[in-house]
Amino acid sequence: MPQGQNNMFEKKFASLPDQDHYTNQNLTDKSQHISDNLHQTEVNNQSFYQGLDDHPQEECAIFGIFAPGEDAARMTYFGLHALQHRGQQSAGIAIADGVSVVGTKDKGLVTQVFNEATLSSLEGHIAIGHTRYSSGGPRDSWESAQPHLSTIDDEIIALANNGTLLNTNELRAKLIDRGIDFRTNTASEVAAKLIGDFTRETQHMREGIRKCMELIKGAYSMVLITPTALYAFRDPSGFRPLSIGELPNGRGWVVASETCGLDIVGAKYVRDVMPGEVIRINKDGLAFEQALPARRRSLCVFEFVYIARPDSNIDGLNVYRSRENMGRRLAEEHPVEADMVIGVPDSGVPSAVGYARASGIPYSEGIVKNRYVGRTFIQPTQTLRELGVRLKLNPLTSTIKDKRLIVVDDSIVRGTTSKQLIEMLRDAGAKEVHMRITSPPVVWPCFYGVDIETQEQLISAKYSVEEVCKSIGADSLAYISLEGLLESCHTDNPGFCSACFSGDYPIDVPKNVQQTSFCGSLEPRFWENA
């Protein structure tokens, strides 16, 4: 912690009023839901369907816009729609009109939370939006949805976060000791109240953000609005992407977790928010400053492997191209004789194309994905539950029957889906199934925003490649090397976090978290302690 920071909490922290300032329309919409039981049914169903998806899950997406004369709420809606893949549990928009800030949020997809009435009620030219992923339990409450609204004296602010903070419990406890109340257990509320108090102390929002960034520890990209301005800032290691775009004819500015969120509203990509940087957009235009020195760059490599949309660009590299590169490298590292290459939708498909082109083995679509099964109020029967992965994926029997298949997927986390997938392909007549994975074995948990919380969850932390191959029932199994993966993702600003593969963590993790997250004799390494 920088010199002088230790006594910052010795000052009296004034409590911020807990005024949610959510629109009446939002409350009306909530009351129109059939019942809270339907919400709980959907949450339970989501947990089941998520269990069919054996991939690391990203926590959130964020979007922000400053566009005088434009329908900022509607543009934010479409931006969130483009970013929906990053989180499906809740969605929200907060909007400012130069005088005040209001918001609407709820559990569900963007299309379920917002309709014409809610969007029409959100009037203003500055907005932020958020979609959220959570692994279930109390974090799925309505209060935990974002953006989070708070106040600085009489001024309302709204904040949305993509990532995970490691020291929120410590900071929350110190704030509570100073008389500040909390309504949720979210990191976003901690960040909002820290920013609020420091802004009150310094009388400068960017300085309030900077002081907050000095205290919080972890992976984050955040957007914040006041009644008159939009702010965006990113942790000093740059774990989570955050892009800046400009609307045509100087109509305004947009920030988004991925460039696909810029494309959908017609914004032209300008550059990324740099690690440790704060940008402010208001009537005077765009201003930026390096709030904290950038650390060793640690962009999450899983953005390229699985999380990001294939049409997005991160640090100058197209995600589809990176996945195709992974497939080519995998073919070079682990060739095998076969009749056909197929990809597991969606992220495995570009890599399968790359593998086929490098190996000369024909590519074909062999698996069809049901994209809408996970969002339903109807509980599946036990018979349907026993179908497992077949509810989401269906083989093209006419294509794969009597074929030796190379099946390209992005990762194996727990191994459950891979086993069911291979059984399904064999039932459809596949003669051989050779699994090729475009990431190294996932051996270590993630603490920086991807839902891999404990090593106990990970099949590769407990078993060798040969044992995993036998467990999932493949004829052969091979993973891309870490070197091969990183070279496939060479960007304009190289530097990745690959801790889930290597055990080399960029930021230290609290001891109590380590005690519950790691197992076995392998010891993680933390760059901060090196």
Catalytic residues: 60
Strand residue runs (E) in 291-426: 299-300, 313-314, 317-318, 340-343, 367-369, 393-395, 404-409
- The H or E element containing residue 437 is strand 432-437
Beta-bridge partner residues of 477: 435
CA distance 46 to 40: 10
The DSSP 8-state label assigned to residue 307 in this structure reads I
Residue 264, number of CB atoms within 10 A of its CB = 18
The tokens of 427 are what? Answer: 């039932």
CA distance 104 to 162: 18
Residue type, position 92, single letter? G
The length of the chain, given as a count of residues: 530
Are the beta carbons of 374 and 89 closer than 8 angstroms? no
Cα Rg, the chain, nearest whole Å: 23
CA distance 345 to 351: 10
Give the 3-state secondary structure of 498-513. CHHHHCEECCCCCHHH
- The H or E element containing residue 272 is strand 268-272
